[in-house]
Structure 1
Amino acid sequence: MQDSLIWTMNSSKVLIFAGGFQLLEGAEFTITLPVVLAFLCFIGFVGNIFLTTVLVSDFRKGKSSIVNSLVINLCAADLLLILFCVPFRAVTYSRQYWNFGRFACKTTDWFLHSCLAAKSFTLTAIGEARHKYVIKPPKFITLHHRRLVGLLAIIWVFAFLLPVPHLVFSALEEDNRGTFCVFEVPYYASNFMNVFSKIYPLLAYVLPVSVTLGCYARIFCRNQPKRNRGANPRQQSHKVTLMLMSVSLAFSVMMLPEWIAWIWARHSSPGGPQPPAVLVILAQVILFLNSTVNPCIFFAVSEEFRDGLSSLWGVLTCAHLRGKWSLRAPRTGENGAEMVTSTVQCLQDVETIASPTASQVSRDNTGKFLPDLEHFWSSRETGSKAEDNDPTPWESQDK
């Protein structure tokens, strides 16, 4: 078994595996590890799809906020990781060599790091948006769609451009053991790679994480007595801030092993200590595990997200089970689209809960309309006394 990330083909050529660790031996790597990745892929896909569906349903109803939109972008990055990165890693661990061709070899690490950079930048934007809302709420109520689209475009453009050296220096190598995908830096680009390996972690991980955690630190360190304005929905946002900060902390902690292995491999000398295979594999498993943690945090902390998940599950189940879910979630409507609970109140803390309309009040638990009692009593009160005191009303009806 290859016991480190560095692969020495001969005495003068040292390469780094790309697209997943190769030359693995043992059932714990070739069987157990792909099964674990497949399980994470399934859990992450289901969780992010449910979370995205709940938020998109609110967005289609016109109940959107910048934080909701950024959370959708975060879920999109997780889904891209799960669908286009995890399967390649699982197959590579199982086959012990690369068999997806040259194009997949050159793009696999580049696409992985692009999604990680997009997640890092998105979490920074969420922290900054949350900080602006808490500090200056009156100026942060309106959602400007053009600004949001521009922000998302900037996030993804920088995310795709930053790890371009992974796209340039990844290549296929062949020997008598098979074909392998490696990260090979030519001699003429060694100085550039030496600088890039120092700047890239700062731009993609250290700086965004520092800004994000700094935003939440300023939120919790603000002067609380000056913010006491009575019963205001915006003031009841401590739990929301904790939830968003937990997502950022989870990302920061779970990405740390991957960056340690990445920096170690790029700065290690051929004869010096090298990152062990166990560290590299464990770091990648934790990396993909983070894509399943984010939906779990939202659904575990937020009651509104749990209600939305329950409502969605009620829509997907059989017709005879929908009545049970409607009893558990009385805020559901007639059709499936209205059954998804609004979660904008959870993340934005701006929308106030509207009072139920007369038509909503006059429904029973089965969704049927009851008689309009308000109109009935108003007509009774405005009716003439002669009609109320008439001893023979049937005669008047006959006339």
Structure 2
Amino acid sequence: MAMNSPFVSFDGGIQQLKGDDTSVIVPALLSTISGLGIGGNVLVLVVLIHVFANRRASEAYVMLANLSASDLLILSLCAPVRAVTYYRRTWTLGIMACRTTEWIQHSCLAVKAFVLLATSQARHNFSSHPGGHSNFRQKRVLITLVIIWTVALVFPIPDIVFSRLKDEGNISLCVSELPSSSQDVMRVFSKILPLGIYVVPITLSVMCHIRTIFHINPTTHGETSLPHLYKSYLLYLSVIAMNALMMLPEWASWVWIRHSSDESCKPSAGLLIFSQVCVYLSSAFFPAILLTMHVPLRESLSDLCSLLACRGGKHRQKIEGNGNEMRAIVMKVLDERGCVPTLTITERHSDADCQTLPDLEYFWSERRNTMVTEECDPLPWERLKQSNVEL
């Protein structure tokens, strides 16, 4: 796996692993992380769509939606590929998946890094000019996102160029093969990629947030809004720190493989598996941090749950109302046809206070449905007023 060897590293997960436990434990772990992370990011996107529907969109919410979308792509496209690879111990997904699996993952990681940097810069501009925060410019945000996604998709193009299938015996391997004519290009790429989508964006993001926190002016923002601002900056610093720590094993092993000349000094398979698991844990932890520490988003989630509960209650009431109306129509039709006797039994309600004994129910139904004259009334005192009754 040295720089002058036929291939540099495995793509889409390590193939040809030994030991039966790795073919069961690692795929199960990746599947669990992927399932939980996909559910959390889908929930975040649903809440953000609810916020956008209520015309409360802002630049920060749009950036959070892009972060969640990139994490969702990583967990739904990249994690299952590695789970299948560890289970099969060979490559069975075809040439297109082999060429694009590393490219998609690195592109999504680049989107996360660039979006965090853009968010940090936007929050720094907001702290310097608080009055401009209310002006949400859709065109500016759209242009920024188009640039971010374009650069993120173009930056790791060499992953597609150097990835290919290699036959070894009766199995196929997906590897990053390095031709002798491209060694210089690969050496430059192996330095630029981690610097461009990991070191530089995270460093600048942390510097922007720290500088903003230390330069907050209470007279400009107001004493009442300071706690909210500090919590917001703490949220983004937590996301950046979590992303930096979780990505460190992945990029360290990635650079280690491509710059180690001795075969014995290569990272172990356990370290490579651990680094890949950390990448997916980062994407799964993001919605948990966001829904825990972001107060407006948590309130929007509560409002959405309350709205769904109210709609569910109204739907049940509508169904019950429709059922009562249908019963009344059926009884009316049967009554007109002479299929229902004059003495009808009142409907029994589910409330215990409204329930009566069958005999009394029949008796009061008789009293309600029977017309009697004054001479034949067996209970004439019922029609007398209380003031006229003499004991």
TM-score scaled to structure 1, two decimals? 0.74
Q: How much identity, in percent, do the aligned residues show?
A: 36
Give the Cα separation in 2 of the matches to 1:138 and 1:224: 13
Are 1:307 and 2:299 matched, yes or no?
A: yes
Residue 248 of structure 1: aligned partner: 240
Are 1:97 and 2:104 matched, yes or no?
A: no
Report if aligned partners of 1:247, 1:297 keep a CA contact under 8 Å in 2: yes
How far off its partner does 1:139 sit? 2.3
| 1:262-312: CA deviation from partner (whole Å, max 9, x where unpaired) | 000111125351011111100000100111111111111234333333444
Which amino acid in structure 2 is aligned with residue 28 of structure 1?
D
Residue 263 of structure 1: aligned partner: 255
Report if aligned partners of 1:105, 1:171 keep a CA contact under 8 Å in 2: yes
Residue 50 of structure 1: aligned partner: 43
Which amino acid in structure 2 is aligned with residue 298 of structure 1?
L
Residue 157 of structure 2: aligned partner: 164
TM-score scaled to structure 2, two decimals? 0.75
SS for the counterpart of 2:164 is: strand
Residue 125 of structure 2: aligned partner: 132
Residue 344 of structure 2: aligned partner: none
Give the Cα separation in 2 of the matches to 1:316 and 1:23: 49
SS for the counterpart of 1:19 is: coil
Q: 1:142 aligns with which of 120, 135, 141?
A: 135
Give the Cα separation in 2 of the matches to 1:176 and 1:228: 68
Q: How does 1:148-297 map to 2 (within 5 A)?
A: 148-222=141-215, 224=217, 227=220, 229-231=222-224, 233=225, 236-297=228-289
Report if aligned partners of 1:7, 1:16 keep a CA contact under 8 Å in 2: no
Give the Cα separation in 2 of the matches to 1:17 and 1:300: 37
Report if aligned partners of 1:24, 1:96 keep a CA contact under 8 Å in 2: yes
Report if aligned partners of 1:102, 1:172 keep a CA contact under 8 Å in 2: yes
Residues 1:178 and 1:68: Cα distance change in structure 2 (over 3 Å)? same
Residue 54 of structure 2: aligned partner: 61
Q: More helix per residue: 1 or 2?
A: 2
SS for the counterpart of 1:275 is: coil
Residue 106 of structure 2: aligned partner: 113
| 1:319-364: CA deviation from partner (whole Å, max 9, x where unpaired) | 77799xxxxxxxxxxxxxxxxxxxxxxxxxxxxxxxxxxxxxxxxx
Give the Cα separation in 2 of the matches to 1:229 and 1:304: 19
How far off its partner does 1:58 sit? 1.2
Report if aligned partners of 1:14, 1:270 keep a CA contact under 8 Å in 2: no
Give the Cα separation in 2 of the matches to 1:228 and 1:312: 30
Q: How does 1:11-26 map to 2 (within 5 A)?
A: 13-26=6-19
Residues 1:31 and 1:195: Cα distance change in structure 2 (over 3 Å)? same
Report if aligned partners of 1:314, 1:321 keep a CA contact under 8 Å in 2: no
Give the Cα separation in 2 of the matches to 1:253 and 1:15: 25
Give the Cα separation in 2 of the matches to 1:30 and 1:317: 43
Give the Cα separation in 2 of the matches to 1:181 and 1:253: 28
Give the Cα separation in 1 of the matches to 2:287 and 2:314: 24
Equivalences, count:
315
Which blocks of at least 5 consecutive residues in structure 2 are unaligned? 316-391
SS for the counterpart of 1:83 is: helix
Give the Cα separation in 1 of the matches to 2:132 and 2:227: 15
Give the Cα separation in 1 of the matches to 2:67 and 2:175: 29
Which amino acid in structure 1 is aligned with residue 300 of structure 2?
G
Report if aligned partners of 1:34, 1:91 keep a CA contact under 8 Å in 2: yes
Which amino acid in structure 2 is aligned with residue 152 of structure 1?
L
SS for the counterpart of 2:136 is: coil
Give the Cα separation in 2 of the matches to 1:253 and 1:12: 31
Give the Cα separation in 1 of the matches to 2:310 and 2:171: 51
How far off its partner does 1:37 sit? 0.9
SS for the counterpart of 1:140 is: helix
SS for the counterpart of 2:14 is: coil
Residues 1:316 and 1:100: Cα distance change in structure 2 (over 3 Å)? farther
Residue 334 of structure 1: aligned partner: none
Report if aligned partners of 1:16, 1:183 keep a CA contact under 8 Å in 2: yes
- Identify which range, 189-198 or 217-226, moves more after superposition: 217-226
Give the Cα separation in 1 of the matches to 2:218 and 2:312: 52
How far off its partner does 1:150 sit? 0.6
